[in-house]
């Protein structure tokens, strides 16, 4: 019987702007607009909000928000933090519909919303604000007890709480109960300079870190083991976003004016044994126990090249592979008469 295993991998990330003029200028935070199937990115460098479709086409849809940081979508509204304000714009018409001025000591950053009509915003001075979306009234629900320089939050619906990532070295991922606003050290870490946090549908957590060359860490639920390095080599990875429709993670690179799109857990791919496939510098390294054929195809199903895999370790130089498009998703499929145990790898290749 022929067995087929597919893996989505990333070539060079999808660096937004390579399909068109690059409008990113110190991109700080991303939100996924599921209605229009676009990524919305805050440009800290010039106060613009950039819309990026899935072909990489960019458009400045909002301007004039100096030092904009966080961006979050609730229903038909876009919320954008800068300084002590949250600006509100329409999701479809991109016109300003309001401003919320909060009582802050320095500046606001990441946001999240719950299921009860509240928006939450992080204040870098160590506070959490709650905004009633009906009245736009601001309440400080946490005034201390957080790690230094909190950056971003995500709503954990299952436990009705917020999870917070902070810049402080070796800082905990902390939880904030929305029942009594109690702060709890949830996950111990050994890195730091965390800038963004999101959660997927399986409750796995992804956190960006500026340390160790720029990484995205993944804590697999129930978060009781050390994190895996989900991706690395990012240039100042900031406030990331999840696109659940396409199982993608969008990572802004603050220092290189680019955005990487990483695949999460492609539908239909089996859980697999580790170390069958490795990405080393400019090579795909496949270690196999049997002779097999690997085919690389485009997302549309066009075959790009085939790889003859023999028992043992096989090294394929990415830059030498024919017909491989840069900045595109590809599918790596294994065909064998025997069951092949393989590994899912979510990483971008640099060639």
**pLDDT tier at 273 (50, 70, 90 boundaries)?**
very low
Instruction: Specify the pLDDT at position 335.
Output: 60
* % of the chain beyond a pLDDT of 90: 62
Looking at the structure, tell me whether residues 59 and 190 fall in a common domain. Answer: yes
**pLDDT tier at 290 (50, 70, 90 boundaries)?**
confident
Contact between residue 275 and residue 30 where contact means Cβ atoms under 8 Å apart: no
**pLDDT tier at 349 (50, 70, 90 boundaries)?**
very low
Does 16 map to a domain? Answer: no
Looking at the structure, tell me whether residues 154 and 109 fall in a common domain. Answer: yes
Query: DSSP assignment, residue 239?
Result: B
Q: What is the chain's mean pLDDT, rounded?
A: 84
Looking at the structure, tell me whether residues 214 and 312 fall in a common domain. Answer: no
Instruction: Specify the pLDDT at position 16.
Output: 42
| 287 vs 148: which has the higher pLDDT | 148
Note down the domain range covering 314.
Answer: 3-7+269-349
pLDDT tens digits, 98-114: 999 999 999 999 999 99
pLDDT tens digits, 167-190: 999 999 999 999 999 999 999 999
Looking at the structure, tell me whether residues 31 and 56 fall in a common domain. Answer: yes
- Residue bearing tokens 């990415």: 318
Question: Which residue from 49, 47, 111 is spatially nearest to 74, judged by alpha carbons?
Answer: 111
Look up the CATH number of the domain holding residue 344: 2.60.290
pLDDT tens digits, 25-70: 999 999 999 999 999 999 999 999 999 988 788 999 999 999 999 9
Looking at the structure, tell me whether residues 82 and 133 fall in a common domain. Answer: yes
Looking at the structure, tell me whether residues 135 and 213 fall in a common domain. Answer: yes
b/e burial code for range 39-72 (CB count within 10 A of at least 16 → b): bbbbbbebbbbbbbbeebebeebbeebebbbbbb
Looking at the structure, tell me whether residues 242 and 275 fall in a common domain. Answer: no
Total domain count, the chain: 2
Residue ending a domain, among 256, 287, 304, is: 256
Look up the CATH number of the domain holding residue 91: 2.120.10.30
Does 311 map to a domain? Answer: yes
Q: Looking at the whole model, is its pTM more than 0.85?
A: no
């Amino acid at each position: 019987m022929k067995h087929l295993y597919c893996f989505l991998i990333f070539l060079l990330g999808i660096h937004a702007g390579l399909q068109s003029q690059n409008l990113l200028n110190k991109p700080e935070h991303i939100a996924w607009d599921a209605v229009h199937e676009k990524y919305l990115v805050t440009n800290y460098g010039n106060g613009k909000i950039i819309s990026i479709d899935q072909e990489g086409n960019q458009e400045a849809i909002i301007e004039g928000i100096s030092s904009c940081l966080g961006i979050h979508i609730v229903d038909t509204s876009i919320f954008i933090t800068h300084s002590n304000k949250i600006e509100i714009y329409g999701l479809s018409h991109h016109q300003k519909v309001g401003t919320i001025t909060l009582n802050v000591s320095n500046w606001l950053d990441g946001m999240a919303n719950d299921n009860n009509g509240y928006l939450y915003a992080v204040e870098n001075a160590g506070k959490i604000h709650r905004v009633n979306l009906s009245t736009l009234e601001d309440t400080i629900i946490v005034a201390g007890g957080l790690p230094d320089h909190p950056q971003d939050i995500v709503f954990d619906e299952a436990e009705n709480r917020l999870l917070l990532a902070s810049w402080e070295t070796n800082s905990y991922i902390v939880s904030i109960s929305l029942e009594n606003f109690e702060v709890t050290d949830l996950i111990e870490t050994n890195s730091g300079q965390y800038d963004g946090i999101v959660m997927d549908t399986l409750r796995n957590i992804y956190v960006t870190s500026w340390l160790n060359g720029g990484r995205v860490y993944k804590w697999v639920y129930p978060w009781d083991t050390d994190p895996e390095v989900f991706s690395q080599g990012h240039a100042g990875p900031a406030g990331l976003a999840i696109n659940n429709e396409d199982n993608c993670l969008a990572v802004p690179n603050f220092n290189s004016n680019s955005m990487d799109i990483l695949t999460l857990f492609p539908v239909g791919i089996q859980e697999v044994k580790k170390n069958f496939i490795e990405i080393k510098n400019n090579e795909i390294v496949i270690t196999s126990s049997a002779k097999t054929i690997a085919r690389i195809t485009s997302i549309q199903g066009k075959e790009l090249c085939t790889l003859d895999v023999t028992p043992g370790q096989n090294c394929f130089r990415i830059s030498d592979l024919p017909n491989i498009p840069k900045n595109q998703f590809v599918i790596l499929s294994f065909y064998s008469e025997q069951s092949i145990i393989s590994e899912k790898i979510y990483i971008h290749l640099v060639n």
